[in-house]
Structure 1
Amino acid sequence: MGLTSNKVLALATLVAVALFAATIWLWPRLSRRGWRAVLGRAGLLLATQLSLFAAVGLAANNYFLFYGSWADLLGQEQEMGVVVDHSAGSRNVKVVAKQKMDVPGGQHPEIGGQIQKVVISGEKSGIQSPAYVYLPPEYFRPEYAKRTFPASVVLTGYPGTAENLLKGLRYPRTAYEQAKAKKMQPMILVMLRPTVAPPRDTECVDIPGGPQTETYFAKDLPKAVSETYRVGKNPRNWGFIGNSTGGYCALKIAMHHPEQFSAGAGLSAYYKAAEDVTTGDLFKGDAKLRNRADLLWSLDHLPKEQRSSFLVTTSRQGEGNLKGTLDFIKKVKAPARVSSITLDSGGHNFGTWNREIPPALAWMGGRLSAV
């Protein structure tokens, strides 16, 4: 049984309840003096506490999807699955598996669309990363056979997994529902985590002498996807969206690479690259690189012809990025455009982002073009 299995959670909960009941029932018998009684009391208390901790931890993980598997929890790298399909259009995208959508008629791609698990290799960066690609139903219909589609890169926060975007944040299903309701145009989603050089948090920058993460997201990934799927190669064909660290990355990449991305949406984003034990030394003492990774600084130094569109989100209570978001909005100058979502309350969590993703996808769809 997998880490996120409901059976595992139910079993852990049952064990915790049983041990709690056993502690209540056996406590009078263990109230006597003596080392055996003391060990019995200590053992029951310890077992009950551990089982309760495990049940609560599993419940939290099932909701937030911090870890997708036991190997992920234990810090073990998983081997990739056997390749069952290799798209002839590009040597840099390998399709590992395909899965149906959890929607009515989802077993038929032309009705429900399809999710493909892939590995995307970067020619310039040398980085390889697993990802999921959502293809809308229209992609498989004969009348759309010669049509290209807009695409958005979608990133989780750090150290999240790409599965978070499918299960906890439900991007494919939301995109399907929004398009079906005519609130957005059909759009391809390329979903992955920003941690392309695990376990290091590279903050989507090109680290001197280290992982070239910005190059991977800004250059390699769009090129590989456009060569494999029917996605255009112009800026108007590409957007970038993410939450938390992924939101910072989305804004940063769209800001610094308008030649590739015309829109960037940061959900609960921060506006300056983190520098801590998870990142290591990102800039090697280079002040120019550090300033460039500060989005508020960058807005003051962007070329005047910058035409990118940005979406930022925050809440009046519960988020720590309210001031930074307001500063970001003030600094965006025409012809660049900025939009925002400000909730009355909402923390830095999946519940908040699930309230922002539907309008954010509709916004993104309105900024991109299929041709």
Structure 2
Amino acid sequence: MTVDSVGEIDITTDSFLGAGGVIALLVVVGLALVMRNRLGRITRVGKVALASVITILVLIGSGASVNAHFDYFRTLGDVLGLPPSDEVELAALLARTDRPDRGVVTTIELPGKESGFTGRPAMVWVPPAWFARPRPTLPVLMLLHGTPGTPQDWLDGGQAGATADEYAAAHGGTAPILVMPDVNGTIDGDTECVDGPDGRVETYLTADVPRFVQDVFHAAAPGRTWAVAGLSEGGSCSLMLALRHPDLFGTFGDYAGLAGPRAGDTNADTDSAVAQLFGGSRQAFLAHEPAALLAGRRYPGLGGWFEVGDADPEPSAAAETIVPAARRAGIATCEVVVPGAGHTFVLFSQAFSDSLPWIAGRLGAGPAVPSCP
């Protein structure tokens, strides 16, 4: 069994979880037997070792329960932080001349030449059609993660690569290029994608990322053939970026985002955002607040997809306010509310799967989907 095959073991199945319980029990029993002395009693060292193992197994079990709820890790590779099994180095990707059966992932250093922002490595998925010669000019869908989080979240819990592979297979190998940049700098950062105290992230996403992706991947120029979508923090980022830069993004996807840039987890706490993200300037805050932007202008030609779970109160409340405002501002708007869904990767991965045909159609990477589901 190779490292890749181990990494692809599905840890969400009942058989895996059941086998894990049996193995854990055998480990405890085996350790208890090994640690007995000649009188049949467990030694003091054995008791300490046994207690340690039981504690570790309890923590693992608790983690498995949490993962079962959030559906973040799907495979052992996700847990161990292994790269996708189909990932290749950028140089090898650019040199490849044969057309693969499915999309290919690469990890790249994406420099912040204009912004000065130092992001973690970004990830890019290219569809089979990208490997044609001459190289086609394909549209781009930029996917933004949340906090805590990493760009790879979109490939792990978000299942973006698998979903895009299915779409490409049904459309002659064509799909948008998926670009997954870093938005926070650290696992627990929370920049809200603005030019703030933790870096000029808005400039990074609107200047550095598009320029690099165009130059390296021969992608289409920003505008009608670029979209931005995200989960949680990334969802509100996508909404804000599309409203502030409709010349760069023709479509956006907001999957369980709040009403706008927030320093916490509630829509109502705008004071913290003003203080922590905008240096105390309410004017700067309002220049990034979707409700204010939607009230101040119209957005002909812009399209937006909103998806939330009805068991996720704050994002649901945000959608109830933002969606009607988006429609009044002339945005072609789709809204999906998933019954029983919370703020988990179950919802995020479903939202991406639900919206990809509509987004790709608007980008010209597939047949147009004229109406919302």
TM-score interval for Structure 1 and Structure 2 normalised by the shorter chain: 0.7 to 0.9
2:299 and 2:50 map into 1 onto residues whose CA distance is 69
Counterparts in 2 of 1:40 and 1:6: CA distance versus 1, 3 Å: farther
Q: Which runs of 5+ in 1 are unaligned?
A: 30-35, 73-83, 86-94, 100-106
1:144-293 → structure 2 map (5 Å cutoff): 145=134, 147-182=136-171, 186-196=175-185, 199-207=188-196, 210-276=198-264, 281-293=276-288
The 8 Å contact of residues 240 and 260 in structure 2, kept in 1 or not, is answered as no
Counterparts in 2 of 1:183 and 1:261: CA distance versus 1, 3 Å: farther
Equivalent residue, structure 2, for 1:135 = 126
Q: Paired residue for 1:53, among 47, 55, 59?
A: 59
Q: Which runs of 5+ in 2 are unaligned?
A: 82-87, 266-271, 366-373
1:237 and 1:182 map into 2 onto residues whose CA distance is 17
2:91 and 2:122 map into 1 onto residues whose CA distance is 10
Counterparts in 2 of 1:69 and 1:236: CA distance versus 1, 3 Å: same
Equivalent residue, structure 1, for 2:370 = none
Equivalent residue, structure 2, for 1:310 = 304
1:217 and 1:97 map into 2 onto residues whose CA distance is 26
Q: Secondary structure at the residue paired with 1:215?
A: helix
Equivalent residue, structure 2, for 1:117 = 107
1:229 and 1:40 map into 2 onto residues whose CA distance is 58
Residue 64 (structure 1) aligned with residue 58 (structure 2): no
C-alpha distance after superposition, 1:11-61 (max 9, x if no partner): 9866742465479999xx9xxxxxx99998787556423322134426756
1:45 and 1:342 map into 2 onto residues whose CA distance is 46
C-alpha distance after superposition, 1:131-170 (max 9, x if no partner): 111111111123xx25311101011221212222223222
Measured after TM superposition, the shift of residue 289 of structure 1 is 1.9
2:91 and 2:262 map into 1 onto residues whose CA distance is 33
1:113 and 1:185 map into 2 onto residues whose CA distance is 10
Deviates more, 1:177-186 or 1:290-299: 177-186
Q: What TM-score comes out, normalization by structure 1 length?
A: 0.75
Measured after TM superposition, the shift of residue 118 of structure 1 is 0.9
Letter in 2 for 1:228: V
Number of aligned residues? 334
The 8 Å contact of residues 312 and 342 in structure 2, kept in 1 or not, is answered as yes
State the Cα RMSD in Å: 4.1
1:318 and 1:25 map into 2 onto residues whose CA distance is 48
Deviates more, 1:149-158 or 1:38-47: 38-47
The 8 Å contact of residues 126 and 178 in structure 2, kept in 1 or not, is answered as yes
Residue 363 (structure 1) aligned with residue 358 (structure 2): yes
Letter in 2 for 1:135: V
Letter in 2 for 1:321: P
1:52 and 1:97 map into 2 onto residues whose CA distance is 43
Measured after TM superposition, the shift of residue 212 of structure 1 is 0.1
Q: Secondary structure at the residue paired with 1:274?
A: coil
The 8 Å contact of residues 252 and 293 in structure 1, kept in 2 or not, is answered as yes
2:79 and 2:187 map into 1 onto residues whose CA distance is 16
Measured after TM superposition, the shift of residue 274 of structure 1 is 2.3
Q: What TM-score comes out, normalization by structure 2 length?
A: 0.75
How many percent identity over aligned positions?
Answer: 22
Counterparts in 2 of 1:229 and 1:40: CA distance versus 1, 3 Å: closer
Deviates more, 1:227-236 or 1:216-225: 227-236
Q: Secondary structure at the residue paired with 2:224?
A: helix
1:94-105 → structure 2 map (5 Å cutoff): 95=90
